[in-house]
């Protein structure tokens, strides 16, 4: 199937594999441009399916469901990184697909991902591939203390364990079921940052401003944009991300996360072949959101402008907010504590069940300055904190 085409007209069907909140925001952006969206998702009523024009309930490896999706849609994309590459390869025989299965397969495997970063002449944290106990015994002790991560299917801190020596590493490896893992040396970080870029079928690229990220418990808690870093470092991070996209021949929206060390060294952490949590601020603070950009790429439209018109801070809303310190709940939070602030934009994902650690929504706060926006976010966090929390 030819993977570039004349621009699709409004009214065309776009397909989406995945039913989470990223898919929900993609649906809304695509629909605002006049497209119709068909979602393939095994869940009954996920965040994306609840707003899509059509929902095919099926597994991502179900060729019957994939064929139905391809028959309905002119082009298909993904909303999470663990869509099987083989499903994208199947769809590519029948319709336009972005991103490619080859690009996704690299981003889905931490060892391949790190090897690819090195091929791009970008630095990564010292690491070793772990596939057996023999690999553990052969390790250099300089990699400790470290973080053991499963190579595939890990996200939001899941499938990760801090280890201090070979015995603790062995225990963690066995707890993960002995699946292929990667051990990364734990480093002292000055910052964690990320860059979201869009790349079209003809190689046009557009990079959003660098985001500065704070994680709590392995989950992104807050993104401040623009990042409080030296302009030269911001340029290096942006150029590195564009290099990754071009070398990967990536088509779609891509995020690369980086570690920044105290000496200014920039290390690739991981790649996300989709819109990213740290790019949610683009909905309210940029000319074109990352989700509209994803729809533009898929439809063969020109990329939109990425100018950020105001400093912004994005705060994730987790299911913990529904529970007090005693575990009582769940109780619906008082959203007026957020929306009473004129420059706070609330986005809820329509998930029916709140659970601790589950992403339920986000709020983006705009300000005349980043300090002003961060100050309001701190006030909102205090106001929304559960009783006794």
Alpha helices, DSSP H only, in the chain?
21-32, 63-72, 85-92, 101-107, 110-119, 133-137, 166-175, 231-247, 282-285, 290-299, 336-339, 370-384
pLDDT at residue 6, as a whole number: 77
pLDDT at residue 155, as a whole number: 61
pLDDT at residue 286, as a whole number: 98
pLDDT at residue 139, as a whole number: 93
Q: What is the mean pLDDT of each run of 10 residues along the chain (389 residues)?
A: 76 97 98 98 93 97 97 96 94 96 94 96 96 92 94 73 94 93 95 98 97 94 97 98 97 98 96 97 98 98 98 97 79 95 97 93 98 97 78
Q: How far apart are the C-alpha atoms of 259 and 321, rounded to whole Å?
A: 29
Dihedral, CA atoms, 53, 349, 359, 378, nearest 10 degrees?
150
pLDDT at residue 324, as a whole number: 81
Q: How far apart are the C-alpha atoms of 113 and 105, rounded to whole Å?
A: 9
pLDDT at residue 157, as a whole number: 56
Residues in contact with 363: Cβ distance below 8 Å, sequence separation at least 6, in sequence order: 314, 315, 317, 338, 344, 345, 346, 347, 377, 380
Name the DSSP class of 153: S
- Token pair recorded at residue 13: 């069907």
Structural domains in the chain, CATH included, are 13-97 (3.40.50.20), 126-185 (3.30.1490.20), 189-384 (3.30.470.20)
């Amino acid at each position: 199937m030819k993977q570039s085409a004349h621009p699709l007209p409004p009214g065309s069907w776009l397909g989406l594999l995945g039913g989470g909140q990223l898919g929900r925001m993609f649906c809304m952006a695509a629909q605002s441009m006049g497209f119709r969206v068909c979602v393939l998702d095994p869940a009954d009523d996920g965040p994306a399916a609840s707003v899509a024009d059509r929902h095919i309930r099926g597994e991502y490896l179900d060729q019957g469901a994939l064929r139905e999706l391809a028959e309905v849609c002119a082009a298909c994309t993904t909303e999470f990184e663990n869509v099987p590459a083989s499903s994208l390869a199947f769809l590519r025989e029948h319709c336009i697909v972005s991103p490619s299965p080859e690009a996704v397969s690299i981003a889905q495997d931490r060892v391949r991902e790190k090897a690819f970063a090195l091929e791009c002449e970008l630095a990564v944290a010292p690491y070793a591939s772990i596939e057996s106990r023999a690999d553990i015994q052969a390790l250099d002790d300089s990699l400790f203390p470290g973080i053991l991560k499963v190579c595939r299917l890990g996200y939001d801190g899941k499938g990760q364990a801090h280890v201090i020596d070979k015995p603790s590493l062995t225990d963690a490896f066995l707890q993960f079921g002995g699946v292929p893992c990667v051990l990364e040396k734990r480093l002292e970080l000055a910052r964690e940052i990320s860059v979201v870029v869009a790349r079209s079928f003809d190689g046009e690229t557009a990079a959003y401003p660098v985001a500065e990220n704070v994680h709590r418990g392995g989950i992104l808690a807050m993104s401040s944009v623009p990042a409080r870093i030296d302009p030269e470092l911001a340029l290096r991070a942006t150029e590195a991300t564009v290099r990754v996209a071009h070398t990967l021949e990536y088509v779609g929206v891509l995020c690369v996360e980086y570690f920044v060390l105290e000496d200014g060294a920039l290390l690739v952490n991981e790649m996300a072949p989709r819109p990213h949590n740290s790019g949610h601020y683009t909905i309210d603070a940029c000319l074109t959101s990352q989700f509209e950009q994803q729809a533009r790429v898929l439809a063969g439209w020109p990329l939109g402008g990425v100018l950020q018109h105001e400093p912004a801070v994005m705060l994730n809303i987790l299911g913990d907010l529904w529970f007090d310190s005693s575990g009582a709940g769940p109780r619906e939070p008082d959203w007026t504590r957020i929306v009473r602030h004129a420059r706070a934009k609330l986005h809820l994902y329509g998930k029916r069940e709140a659970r601790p650690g589950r992403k339920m929504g986000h709020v983006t706060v705009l300000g005349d300055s980043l300090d002003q926006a961060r100050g309001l976010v701190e006030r909102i966090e205090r106001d929304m904190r559960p009783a006794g929390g």
